[in-house]
Structure 1
């Protein structure tokens, strides 16, 4: 006879969110992604069919709903139950930084992933009224050619873009950085200011915009 799940809230919680991809899909939704392609872009390694299956499972558990956005396109949104998991998601990341996290290995250095994360961190209310184009040039040891990505920043939030090809607009701000160190900044194991002081990150271009650049993003804060 098949044994029923034990009567324990921890067991029930693991049943709802205890696989790898469910928590990562929650992370993407918490970071503002709503459309399927945006969620998929933030999850390297997941197939589209598996993502569809996870979203269906999350709907069945009452964590997300699927409806239409203002443009009539399908969108996924967190329910109250799903949104209530936000502290769990970020506390898990804080725990990992302290106990189970190191520097990125070569295969984890991905400029496409990095500019997408920066796009998700953008604080649109802090952006200037004009469009700003940021070019990131990331170098790494043993590789002569820098990898490049671009951010097109403007209000509203839907107009913020992360690009792997030049967007065709004049660049206003250049960020030249060591790839490993910039990935550490994004992951919250160091700060942008510390990386700049150490000479790993250089920000140049329009003086006013370059000075304001650090304030346009909600950076993850390193924890003890």
Structure 2
């Protein structure tokens, strides 16, 4: 009987240890999941840039999900590709979803991209994308706020002969103007559309 009692106690202890282990594992998994969620609190800030209709602030689009991209109209590859993807993603949205979304293209080429040039360029891809620009100081601050890298590379003899190496991230901002997701250049149109829908619902 003593042996049976000891055996029974051992089983009970083993079960309790197992239950405790499962509980600890569940808590740790939940903590790991929560802590692995990316935070973009340090990204972005309110800004005011120039559109074809005059000064416009990011806060004007509160209540909408903003798809934000930085580039320049003379860009040979990255910018047209990413803006075409943005336009294609917009065409995948429902009418209501599109009404609650806004695309913004900010030109970092203050020397060559006039307001009219950048506005026409953005609209060429989709009429829900607006083009914005500004002076060098303002653009530099906005770029810094969003951790946008760009660097001029001379390609000729005149001041107009250059390209701009720049980062290729597309930013998704929620209805409060906060960055909620970063979209890489190699993401698909479907990826972007799904991300927009996710932020719209959040």
Query: Is the shorter-chain TM-score for this pair beyond 0.5, marking a shared fold?
Result: no
TM-score by length of 1: 0.27
Structure number with larger C-alpha Rg: 2
Higher relative contact order (CA 8 A, sep 6+): 2
TM-score under structure 2 normalisation?
0.29
